[in-house]
Structure 1
Amino acid sequence: MSTVASSPVPAESSTPVGGYAAPEFAPLVRAFARRMGGRPGAGAGLAVHRHGAPLVDVWVGEAAPGQDWSAGTGSVVFSATKGIAATVIHRLADRGLLDYDTPVAAYWPEFGAQGKERITVRQLLSHRAGLSGLPDIARGLDDVLDHRLMERQLAAAKPDHLLGIPTYHALTFGWLLAGLARAVTGRGMAELFRTEIAEPLGTDGIHLGRPGPESATTTAVLHGNRLAPVGSTYASLVLGRAYGFPGAAGAAARALFLPGLEAFVEGDDPPINHTELPAGNGICTASGLATLYGALACGGMSNGHRFLTPRTMRAVRRIESYRLDHALFYIPMLWHMGYHSLPVPGARTGFGHIGLGGSFGWADPSSGVSIGFVHNRLALPALATDQLAAGWVLPLTMRGARAARRAPARPADRAA
């Protein structure tokens, strides 16, 4: 493998950017600075690895008012957490503790209640378990914050009419995987994130919930109006009535909305930081996500060590469903087991998971490239634009990776 020189980030931008990047990624860094910088209190991190070697590790803006973003800044990545939780399950399957086509109830007997005895691990991982709805298992925020309660409630729940059909399990996905993993290992997902992901990969940049005092990862404060408008009386009334709507509107409301849930992200240290929500409260650095997806982009290898076997990697890369997702307004998500691909430029050959607001981790096995992108903006007026960040990050990253591959070998010259 040739070594690509890294250098200080391009100086053309008026927004100061920290870190380093290979010269071929200058267009990506400029776009990153332009789109993610310039808002007091808001910032972002972006990392790109190829065959495990860092080509880009840049950051911009603030982690909190008056506090600069840094290489060690992590942020809540919302649904990008799902890819990490799924990787825990794949690690367990890799060691023979689970089989994808075995019913979940064989490992977690309580789960077999209410006609769920045939639901398989594969269906759980690909959002086809018929358990996406929140109203049947939780009364409000206090219930959602009690992750052990949520595991028990899902074990006792009855699947809905969408069993077997791809329907995004926006929050329930994480508790389902946590209950399965707990039944097999006796340990919770926060511990498994550490022992199955962070420690084997040698990264301090992946946590479930707020990192402990022993961690060097700091947590960015969410910036913007967050989800407060969703809690207005009018919005709550409309969304509550949408539970009974047919089709995508009803499925989305049941999967995503619960009265009072908007308070989950309120405050400088919000409740979301202090629970185990394996579908949504991973706190990650950009380099942490790039490191994880680097193992998935490189055939299950990380730093010369086997992280997942070739057999498991074949299962990971397989697209399980080409059907339109019923809870995401029929977006063609191309679900893998715990990840998704997208039919857009730069994303067809890869897979990963995008979270609320656009943070994501991504692997492209065809090139060995992995990406971690995190930020702390959560403002409803800008949410649609931020959500589509992969639309510019992925193509610019792949363009830079192709240019770097064509460049002559150079001695490493990393500069801070």
Structure 2
Amino acid sequence: MSNVASSTGLVDLPTSVGGYAAVEFGPLVRTFARMVGGHPGAGGALTVRLRGEPLVEIYAGEAAPRRAWDADTGSIVFSATKGVAATVIHRLADRGLIDYDAPMAYYWPEFAANGKERITVRQVLSHRAGLYGLPAIARGLDDIIDHRMMEEHLAAAKPDHLLGIPTYHALTFGWLLAGLARAVTGRGMAELFRTEIAEPLGVDGIHLGTPPAGAPTSAAVLHGNRLSAVGVNYVSLALGRAYSLPGALGAAARALFLPGLDQLVEGDDPPILHTELGAGNGVCTATGLATLYGALANGGMHEGQRFLSPETIRAMRHVETYRLDHALFYIPMMWHMGYHSLPVPGARAGFGHIGLGGSFGWADPKLGLSVGFVHNRLGIGAMSLDQIASAWVLPLVVRGAHAARRTTALAQPVAA
């Protein structure tokens, strides 16, 4: 149990919620119970750490029919995976294997094709490579789940007219980073999630795709109607025709839609779990994400060990562009190298990455605070509310963290 948590006492949890939480996080626990634990068939988890110490580790609901959510339950976190993949690249850069301002082609010679010889690692990490479009590199689901082929197709691809402009690389981001990492290390991104992230941090709850047999982490089954509405013929036809539209609608369609892509998340064992999609198929526990972002929130340190250098942490904290994102309908994403900030209460000072459905990992270096939030609901009807989960989680987390710091400070003995 955390020294911080034990010195302040624990909140009485609702009967629907398991785990523990410091007493200052009572409002967060009650909101979590209502927002996450109140949906039959679904569940989720939330972990909060302050200066590396666990203050909250709670979970509720079902991971699958007749299987309760527990501390080792992970869920597909979709685009929150990008933050983990980016951290792999930062670990390699920290050892001098990658220079952010070097051309991608310096490490990955095939990438120089079709006028890409000057695109830098920094541009790729901040979604400015002009390589976000799916129709130019893939025909359907079979292509999407062949991650080695996707890396090759991106190496051969031609950037479009939005090169240099922030345009969310919704799926291509993961293959671009995987191709770079493979060129430098000779290893795939799933292996690097283990060797560069999970093992150095001493956690199991960070995987790319299905956790291996024998792993403590078990993957929750997605709950809801998923993306079935996107596969309806007239919707699919409309989205396909939107490819050629100017502005945000066309960019979003090219970045996010491909005929048959909705099938990627169908079934209890969906195809998304059986590939290496560094942009979207991480299977993470809340504690796994909070542990990773805890190192990023505390100067690169984890349990007294150096995970990243202070210089690399400063580079990661820097906002690369304040320009509005062209594929996300001009939302001010404030892209870092692999992460984003948010102009909402509790998030302005931090960075992390939110995924489809609202799962996320987050670091607030000013407070030394980290958060992991995961759940398994994925349905068109609930999507809008789930997607903005950070809007209630982060303010309540920050409020509780400030209260815990005050309580701990008051509890410190006064020097004679």
What range describes the TM-score normalised by the shorter chain of this pair?
Answer: over 0.9
In 1, Cα distance between equivalents of 2:11 and 2:47: 13
In 1, Cα distance between equivalents of 2:10 and 2:355: 29
Equivalences for residues 4-403 of structure 1 within 5 A: 4-5=5-6, 9-11=11-13, 13=14, 16-403=16-403
- Paired amino acid for 1:10: D
How far did residue 66 of structure 1 move? Answer: 1.2
Checking the alignment, whether the CA contact within 8 Å between 1:10 and 1:29 is kept in structure 2 is no
After superposition, the Cα gap between the structure-2 partners of 1:408 and 1:192, relative to the gap in structure 1 and judged at 3 Å, is closer
In 2, Cα distance between equivalents of 1:308 and 1:97: 14
SS across alignment from 2:124: helix
Coordinate RMSD, CA, aligned? 1.3
Checking the alignment, whether the CA contact within 8 Å between 2:5 and 2:54 is kept in structure 1 is no
- Paired amino acid for 1:3: V
Checking the alignment, whether the CA contact within 8 Å between 2:11 and 2:20 is kept in structure 1 is yes
In 1, Cα distance between equivalents of 2:78 and 2:139: 21
How far did residue 391 of structure 1 move? Answer: 0.1
In 2, Cα distance between equivalents of 1:401 and 1:372: 14
Checking the alignment, whether the CA contact within 8 Å between 2:4 and 2:55 is kept in structure 1 is no
SS across alignment from 1:407: helix
In 2, Cα distance between equivalents of 1:60 and 1:163: 43
In 2, Cα distance between equivalents of 1:408 and 1:141: 52
In 2, Cα distance between equivalents of 1:400 and 1:274: 38
SS across alignment from 1:234: helix
In 1, Cα distance between equivalents of 2:394 and 2:166: 25
SS across alignment from 2:381: helix
In 2, Cα distance between equivalents of 1:133 and 1:51: 40
In 1, Cα distance between equivalents of 2:119 and 2:76: 30
Checking the alignment, whether the CA contact within 8 Å between 1:167 and 1:326 is kept in structure 2 is yes
SS across alignment from 2:276: coil
CA deviations over 1:361-390 (Å, ceiling 9, x no partner): 000000000000000000101100000000
CA deviations over 1:318-368 (Å, ceiling 9, x no partner): 000000000000000000000000111100100000000000000000000
SS across alignment from 2:295: helix
In 2, Cα distance between equivalents of 1:262 and 1:140: 10
Checking the alignment, whether the CA contact within 8 Å between 2:5 and 2:21 is kept in structure 1 is no
SS across alignment from 1:381: coil
After superposition, the Cα gap between the structure-2 partners of 1:137 and 1:2, relative to the gap in structure 1 and judged at 3 Å, is same
SS across alignment from 1:4: helix
TM-score by length of 2: 0.97
Checking the alignment, whether the CA contact within 8 Å between 1:127 and 1:169 is kept in structure 2 is yes
Checking the alignment, whether the CA contact within 8 Å between 2:3 and 2:53 is kept in structure 1 is no
- The count of residues paired between Structure 1 and Structure 2 equals 409
After superposition, the Cα gap between the structure-2 partners of 1:374 and 1:410, relative to the gap in structure 1 and judged at 3 Å, is farther
How far did residue 410 of structure 1 move? Answer: 9.7
- Paired amino acid for 1:126: S
Indicate the percent of aligned positions where both proteins have the same amino acid. Answer: 74
Checking the alignment, whether the CA contact within 8 Å between 2:11 and 2:24 is kept in structure 1 is no
After superposition, the Cα gap between the structure-2 partners of 1:237 and 1:328, relative to the gap in structure 1 and judged at 3 Å, is same
In 2, Cα distance between equivalents of 1:250 and 1:262: 19
In 2, Cα distance between equivalents of 1:374 and 1:9: 21
Checking the alignment, whether the CA contact within 8 Å between 2:74 and 2:286 is kept in structure 1 is yes
How far did residue 408 of structure 1 move? Answer: 3.8
SS across alignment from 2:308: coil
- Paired amino acid for 2:107: Y
| Alignment partner, residue 414 of structure 2 | none
In 2, Cα distance between equivalents of 1:10 and 1:315: 41
In 2, Cα distance between equivalents of 1:265 and 1:49: 31
In 2, Cα distance between equivalents of 1:336 and 1:77: 19
In 2, Cα distance between equivalents of 1:232 and 1:410: 59
In 1, Cα distance between equivalents of 2:10 and 2:310: 37
SS across alignment from 1:370: strand
Unaligned runs of 5+ in 2: 412-416
CA deviations over 1:242-268 (Å, ceiling 9, x no partner): 000100000000000000000000000
SS across alignment from 1:178: helix
In 2, Cα distance between equivalents of 1:3 and 1:64: 33
- Paired amino acid for 1:407: T
In 2, Cα distance between equivalents of 1:37 and 1:54: 21
In 1, Cα distance between equivalents of 2:241 and 2:22: 52
- Paired amino acid for 1:4: A
How far did residue 40 of structure 1 move? Answer: 2.1
SS across alignment from 1:204: coil
| Alignment partner, residue 414 of structure 1 | none
Deviating above 4 A after TM superposition, structure 1's stretches of 4 or more consecutive aligned residues are 6-9
